[in-house]
């Protein structure tokens, strides 16, 4: 099954927004067994969108587009697709009613321009949009007819999928805003796919996530032991990001589950202490689970990470059961007042020091009554560095009833990378400490 994703939006090509649809849709589709084979982003211009849809329909069994269904002049997808497939557009009375109700419920006048969103190409399935005004649209495209009538030149381009498809293809158009697209996908598209394009061959993918070890070290450790599995069709991939390396094990066919399971054992044997989670589980989710299971509580004392660790932990549903408080003590005064760091310590050692990290962690435990506390103090940059403490210098403290320990790291990156890498290091210290105390 060939699946292609087309993201429309000039803002994507101008780099004004991050393409979060790609990751979200690709992940959801892969989990369902529809692995995306190509993703394309094109600007909001007729010829570009048309060419991308035309090419994708020539190659793929399923084409999903995002964006271009809204009410403004740069929303072109609906019209272009109708034209390309030779379908007329008709106003759908139920969509007009939905749009009217949408604005009425918000006590806002209905702008005239929004009515265009009620136009539907003949034969299209309408995907309701409870969170916005533009519905999604799904259209069955006859593969033979498509290639003959519309795509004689393009069809020959399909070098990756040379056998002619005799079944139907599907083109699904989804709205651009994530909070409209995501529920629409979960509530409507998933069941549509199961019905019209059922998956025949088994597909299994497992990702093991590591920290504290480089990509080539990971490869050196596992490539040899996985030789046999690779020969039997295992697909092995690596992805390094922000101080972590993911190992991806995948396979197709009836032996897929067995093959991936055996490979996972091999990888775990080689990398065990560095593996913190599997698949999409985050380090912060692992920590919330660990602490919840052990009925332990946590307090944070963040200086240079500025709330990044609290933010990550509180993205996990249920974090409120374990996180008592996060104190973003950016100023020296706040370090004294909320954490009891001594003025004398700050004056003697400076805010970025092992002793201050220690007093911050101990102070956070004391002030909140938490079982564990993490503290972070360092120089995120771009300014504030010195010869003795250059930008990237950071002290990470951990305090429990048994001990207080401080680690020094050097993360000379841009400010946001610094916060992310430092946060991962702090959370990993906590994970290892909590694990080791049984």
CB closer to a copy of itself out of 102 and 125: 102
CA 247, CA 239: separation in Å to the nearest integer? 7
CB of 122 to a copy of itself, least distance (A): 26
CA 421, CA 413: separation in Å to the nearest integer? 9
Of the candidates 63, 211, 209, the one whose C-alpha atom is nearest the C-alpha of residue 140 is: 63
Q: Which of residues 102-121 bind a copy of itself (CB under 8 A)?
A: 108, 111-114
Using CB under 8 A as the criterion, what x/- string covers residues 250-289 for binding a copy of itself?
Answer: x-----------------------------x---------
What is the bridge-based pairing of β-strands 275-278 and 244-252? Answer: unpaired
CB closer to a copy of itself out of 123 and 237: 237
Establish if 122 lies at the interface with a copy of itself (CB under 8 A).
no
CA 50, CA 339: separation in Å to the nearest integer? 60
Q: Which of residues 136-155 bind a copy of itself (CB under 8 A)?
A: 153-154
Phi, psi torsion values for 422, nearest 5 degrees: -60, -40
CA 126, CA 135: separation in Å to the nearest integer? 6
Phi, psi torsion values for 179, nearest 5 degrees: -80, -5
- Work out which of 168, 255, 314, 404 binds a copy of itself, going by CB under 8 A: 314
Tell me, by CB under 8 A, how many residues bind a copy of itself: 120
Are 28 and 36 in contact by the 8 Å Cβ rule? The answer is: no
Q: Which of residues 320-339 bind a copy of itself (CB under 8 A)?
A: 320, 323-331, 333-334, 337-338
- Work out which of 83, 207, 255, 289 binds a copy of itself, going by CB under 8 A: 207
- Work out which of 65, 84, 143, 246 binds a copy of itself, going by CB under 8 A: 246
Q: Which of residues 350-389 bind a copy of itself (CB under 8 A)?
A: 367-369, 380-384
Spell out the residues 6+ positions from residue 102 whose beta carbon is closer than 8 angstroms to its own: 132, 133
Establish if 37 lies at the interface with a copy of itself (CB under 8 A).
yes
Are 316 and 288 in contact by the 8 Å Cβ rule? The answer is: yes
Establish if 172 lies at the interface with a copy of itself (CB under 8 A).
no
Q: How deeply is 329 buried, as exposed, middle or buried, from its count of CB atoms within 10 A (0-12, 13-18, 19+)?
A: buried
- Work out which of 73, 163, 166, 436 binds a copy of itself, going by CB under 8 A: 73
Cα 208 to chain center, whole Å?
16
CA 81, CA 307: separation in Å to the nearest integer? 46
Establish if 240 lies at the interface with a copy of itself (CB under 8 A).
yes
- Work out which of 10, 83, 150, 437 binds a copy of itself, going by CB under 8 A: 10
What is the bridge-based pairing of β-strands 372-378 and 203-211? Answer: unpaired
Q: Considering only the stretches 118-126, 137-145, 219-227, 253-261, report the one whose residues sit in contact with a copy of itself under the rule CB under 8 A.
A: 219-227
- Work out which of 94, 315, 348, 386 binds a copy of itself, going by CB under 8 A: 315
Establish if 223 lies at the interface with a copy of itself (CB under 8 A).
yes
- Work out which of 32, 51, 155, 350 binds a copy of itself, going by CB under 8 A: 51
CB of 83 to a copy of itself, least distance (A): 16
CA 174, CA 164: separation in Å to the nearest integer? 27
12-17 long-range Cβ contacts below 8 angstroms, 24+ apart: 12/41, 12/43, 13/41, 13/42, 13/43
- Work out which of 140, 311, 342, 366 binds a copy of itself, going by CB under 8 A: 311
CB of 20 to a copy of itself, least distance (A): 7
Establish if 29 lies at the interface with a copy of itself (CB under 8 A).
yes
- Work out which of 144, 269, 281, 416 binds a copy of itself, going by CB under 8 A: 416
Establish if 292 lies at the interface with a copy of itself (CB under 8 A).
no
Tokens standing for residue 220: 């050196």
Establish if 396 lies at the interface with a copy of itself (CB under 8 A).
no
CB closer to a copy of itself out of 108 and 403: 108
CB of 405 to a copy of itself, least distance (A): 21
Token pair 């497992």 is found at: 206
CA 133, CA 15: separation in Å to the nearest integer? 26
Q: Which of residues 78-107 bind a copy of itself (CB under 8 A)?
A: none
């Amino acid at each position: 099954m060939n699946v292609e994703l087309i993201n429309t939006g000039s803002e994507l090509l101008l780099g004004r927004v991050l393409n979060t649809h790609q990751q979200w849709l690709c992940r959801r589709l892969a989990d369902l067994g529809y692995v995306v084979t190509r993703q394309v982003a094109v600007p909001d211009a007729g010829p570009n969108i048309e060419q991308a849809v035309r090419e994708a329909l020539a190659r793929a069994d399923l084409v999903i587009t995002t964006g271009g269904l809204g009410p403004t002049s740069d929303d072109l997808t609906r019209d272009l697709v109708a034209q390309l497939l030779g379908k007329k557009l008709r106003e759908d009375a139920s969509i007009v009613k939905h749009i009217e109700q949408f604005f009425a419920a918000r006590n806002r006048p209905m702008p005239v321009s929004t009515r265009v969103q009620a136009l539907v190409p003949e034969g299209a399935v309408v995907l309701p949009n409870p969170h916005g005004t533009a519905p999604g649209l799904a259209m069955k495209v006859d593969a033979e007819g498509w290639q003959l009538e519309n795509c004689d030149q393009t069809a020959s381009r399909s070098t990756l999928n040379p056998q002619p498809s005799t079944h139907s293809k599907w083109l699904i158009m989804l709205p651009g805003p994530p909070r409209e697209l995501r529920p629409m996908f979960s509530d409507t598209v998933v069941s549509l796919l199961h019905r019209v394009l059922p998956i025949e061959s088994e597909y299994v993918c497992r990702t093991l996530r590591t920290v504290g070890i480089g990509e080539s070290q990971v490869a050196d450790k596992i490539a040899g032991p996985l030789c046999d599995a690779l020969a039997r069709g295992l697909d092995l991939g690596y992805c390094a990001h922000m101080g972590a390396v993911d190992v991806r094990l995948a396979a197709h066919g009836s032996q897929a589950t067995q093959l991936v399971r055996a490979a996972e054992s091999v990888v775990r044997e080689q990398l065990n202490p560095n593996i913190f989670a599997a698949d999409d589980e985050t380090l912060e989710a692992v920590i919330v689970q660990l602490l919840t299971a052990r009925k332990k509580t946590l307090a944070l004392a963040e200086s240079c990470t500025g709330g990044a660790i609290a933010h990550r932990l509180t993205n996990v549903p249920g974090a409120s059961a374990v996180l008592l408080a996060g104190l973003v003590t950016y100023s020296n005064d706040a370090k004294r007042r909320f954490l009891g760091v001594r003025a004398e310590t700050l004056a003697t050692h400076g805010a970025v020091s092992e002793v201050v990290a220690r007093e911050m962690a101990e102070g956070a435990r004391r002030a909140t009554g938490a079982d564990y506390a993490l503290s972070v103090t360092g120089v995120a940059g771009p300014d504030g560095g010195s010869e003795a403490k250059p930008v990237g210098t950071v002290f990470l403290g951990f305090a429990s009833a048994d001990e207080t320990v401080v680690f020094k790291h050097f993360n000379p990156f841009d400010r946001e990378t610094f916060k992310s890498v430092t946060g991962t290091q702090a959370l990993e210290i906590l994970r290892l400490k909590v694990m080791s105390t049984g």
